[in-house]
Structure 1
Amino acid sequence: MDSPLDFRVFVEPQQGATYADQLAVARTAEAAGYSAFFRSDHYTAMSGDGMPGPTDSWVTLGAIARETTSIRLGTMVTSATFRYPGPLAIAVAQVDEMSGGRVELGLGAGWFEAEHKAYAIPFPPLGERFDRLTEQLDIIRGLWTTPPGETFDYSGSHYTVADSPALPKPVQSPHPPIIIGGAGAKRTPALAATFAAEFNIPFAPLEVTATQFERVASALADAGRSPGSLTYSAAFVVCAGRDEQEIARRAAAIGREVDELRSNSPLVGTPGEIADKLGAYREIGVQRAYLQVLDMSDLDHVDFFAAEVIPQLS
C-alpha cells in the first residue's frame, strides 16, 4: 500500500497578517497533527492593502520556533534576491538551533518586481536571478557542511567567500532540508537534482505537475541520484466544508468563486470530493500536499481538514 500523504499548512502573511495571526495558525496546525507550518517570503501584498504590513519570514519563524515543540517550520519560498547568502545561512542555522532542528529552507530566484521596488531591493533580469540562486545554494550548502575548525572559500560570478569560519552550524545533519520549486523546464529540475531534498510545484494542473515531475526525475537520474532520494510535493489553495453552504462561505471569505476554486485546486469541496481528486495527484507521484490557507482567522478550517479529510487519505 502507498504511504499516506503528508500534509502541511502554508500561509501568505503579506496579504495581511500579524505575528500573532501566524502563531495561532502554527499552533493550531501543530495540535491538529500537520507535519509543518510554512509561510511565504514576500514584502508586499498581491491584492488588497496588506494591512498591518509585512512580517519578515525568518524573524517570524525564529519566534514561532520558540512557541512550538514538534511541527517543522519553513519558507515557501525565500527569495534569493532578498538576502546575501552568508547572512541567510546564519539566520536559517540559528532558527534551526532555536527550533531544535525543525527548519527547512525553500529557496527561489524571486519574481515579484513590485516588492523589490517598494523596499529598495535590486531586481536583476531572470537569467541573473537564477545564476545568483545557484551560487547562493552552493554557498549556503558549503557553509553548513564545512567541517568544524575548517574554513570555506568560494569564487563565483556574483558572490565570493574568503576564509569563512562557516559558522554557525545548523542542528540538522548534514544540513536542513532544501526545497526547490517551480515549473521551469530546465534550470529548476537541474537545481532540484543538485541541491534539494524536496521538489515542490505550486498551483499547477494535474498534467503540468506530471510533466514537471518527469523532468525532475530525469534530472535526478542524470545527477546519479536514486529516485527515492527526493520528496515530490505540491501546493494548493484549500477551501473545504461539510456542505456546499460552508464551502461557499469559505470561498467568499477569500474573495473567490467556488466554481473557479474547484477548477483550480483539488483541495476544494467536501471531504470525500477532495479525497477523490487528490487520488489522481497521488498516482502521478505527489507525496506531500501544502494547504494554502488564505483566511488565517478561520482556524476551524485547519482543524476540519485534519479531522475529516486527512483520515480518508491515510
Structure 2
Amino acid sequence: MRFGTFIPQGWRLDLVDIEPADQWRVMATVAGRADEGPWESLWVYDHFHTVPVATEQATHEAWTLMAAFAASTRRIRLGQMCTCMAYRNPAYLAKVAATVDIISGGRTEMGIGAGWYEHEWKAYGYGFPPISERLGMLREGVDIMSQAWATGRASLDGKYYQVKDAIVQPTPLQANGVPLWIAGGGEKVTLKIAAQYAQYTNFTGTLEEFDHKSEVLRGHCEAIGRDFSTITRSSNFNTIVGATEADALERLAAVKERMLPHVGEERANDIERQYLDSPGFGAVEQVIERLAERERRGLGYAIHYFPEAAYDTTGIQLFEREVIGALA
C-alpha cells in the first residue's frame, strides 16, 4: 500500500491558536518532516471557508501552497484532495499545474472534483449550480486539461467552457502530463469520467460500499475497453493512532477540546464520532488490521489526515513506524 498525508492548512480548524505569521513555518515544518519520511505524497484541501462551520480562522489557498511546497520540498509528491473544477478556468488551472510541476521537478498530482461546499461557493460568487451542471463542468474541464498537457494547446466549444487554441507552454515535465485523481464516488457520472481519464480514483465508505463502487468503476472501464487494473483506487482517512486504544482516546479528547470553542458542543461531538468511526482511529494493531483488509479488497493508496499535525507529531511518528512499516 502507498501512503499520503495531509498538511494542516486551517480548513479543518487545524491551525487554531497559531498566529498567522507563524502558520507557514508550521505548515512547512510538517511538509519537511513528510518529505524526509516514508510518505509518497502530501496533500491539501481546496477550500476557502472552514468546516464544520465557517469561521474567521485561517484557510490557506491550495494552489498557492502547491507552489510553495514545490519550491521547499525535494522528493515528496504534491496533491490536492481535491481541486474544485469550477473555482478556476480549466485552461488557467492547466497552466498553473504545469508551472508547479516544473518548479517541483515533476512531482505534481491533480486531484479534481465537482465541488460540494455550498456556503463558500455562494460567498465567493460562484453561485451553486445543480450537481448535473457541476459534473458537466468537471467532464469538460478534465478534457481541456488533458489536451493541454498532452499537446500544449487546448480547444473546446463546450456547454460550460469555451477554449479556443489556448497555449499551455511549457507542458508538465511528467511525460504523460500531471496524473489525474478523479475524486468522488458518483456511480453514473463521476466514476465514468474516472474510467475515461483518471490514473487514480478517490472515494470512501464502508467495505461494502468500497466493493460496490469498485465494481461500478470496473464496469465503466469494460464499457470503453480500458484495463481496470490501470486505475489505482485511493481513500482518505481521519487518523488518530495511539500505542493503545486508551492513548488514541486521550489524543482525540485533546483534539475535541481544541475545536470546542470554535464549533460548539454539538459539532464537536459530531467530529468526535467521525473519528471514532474511522478505520484510521485506534491502537496501531487495529488500524493495521483495518487498512490491510481494505488493501485485500483493492485499495492501493491511503491518504491520512492527522488533526494533531500542527501541534504534536508523536502520533504521526508512531503511524510511520508501525503502520507504514507493516503495510508499505
Residue in structure 2 matched with residue 246 of structure 1 by the alignment? 247
Root-mean-square deviation (CA, aligned residues, Å) is 1.9
Distance 1:259 1:91, change over 3 A: closer
Amino acid at match of 2:37: A
Q: What are the Cα deviations for residues 243-282 of structure 1, in whole angstroms up to 9, with x where unaligned?
A: 2332012212332679835652221111111111112211
Instruction: Give the whole-Å Cα distance in 2 for the aligned partners of 1:171 and 1:113.
Output: 35
Q: Which structure is higher in helix share?
A: 2
Contact 2:244/2:284, CA 8 A, preserved across alignment: no
Instruction: Give the whole-Å Cα distance in 2 for the aligned partners of 1:167 and 1:242.
Output: 50
2:222 is equivalent to residue 225 of structure 1: no
What SS does structure 2 have at the residue aligned with 1:103?
coil
What SS does structure 1 have at the residue aligned with 2:29?
helix
Instruction: Give the whole-Å Cα distance in 2 for the aligned partners of 1:172 and 1:27.
Output: 23
Instruction: Give the whole-Å Cα distance in 2 for the aligned partners of 1:65 and 1:47.
Output: 29
Instruction: Give the whole-Å Cα distance in 2 for the aligned partners of 1:48 and 1:249.
Output: 24
**Number of equivalences:** 306
What does 1:278-297 correspond to in 2, within 5 Å?
278-297=291-310
Q: CA deviation at 1:122?
A: 2.8
Instruction: Give the whole-Å Cα distance in 2 for the aligned partners of 1:38 and 1:102.
Output: 12
**Larger deviation: 130-139 or 294-303?**
294-303
2:242 is equivalent to residue 211 of structure 1: no
What does 1:1-314 correspond to in 2, within 5 Å?
5-11=1-7, 13=9, 14-16=11-13, 17=15, 18-47=23-52, 50=55, 52-146=57-151, 151-202=153-204, 204-255=205-256, 260-261=273-274, 264-297=277-310, 298-314=312-328
Distance 1:207 1:12, change over 3 A: farther
Unaligned runs of 5+ residues in structure 1 are none
Contact 1:205/1:264, CA 8 A, preserved across alignment: no
Instruction: Give the whole-Å Cα distance in 2 for the aligned partners of 1:123 and 1:12.
Output: 27
Q: CA deviation at 1:120?
A: 2.2
TM-score with structure 2 length normalisation? 0.88
Contact 1:21/1:296, CA 8 A, preserved across alignment: no
Q: CA deviation at 1:186?
A: 1.1
Distance 1:28 1:49, change over 3 A: farther
Distance 1:118 1:100, change over 3 A: same
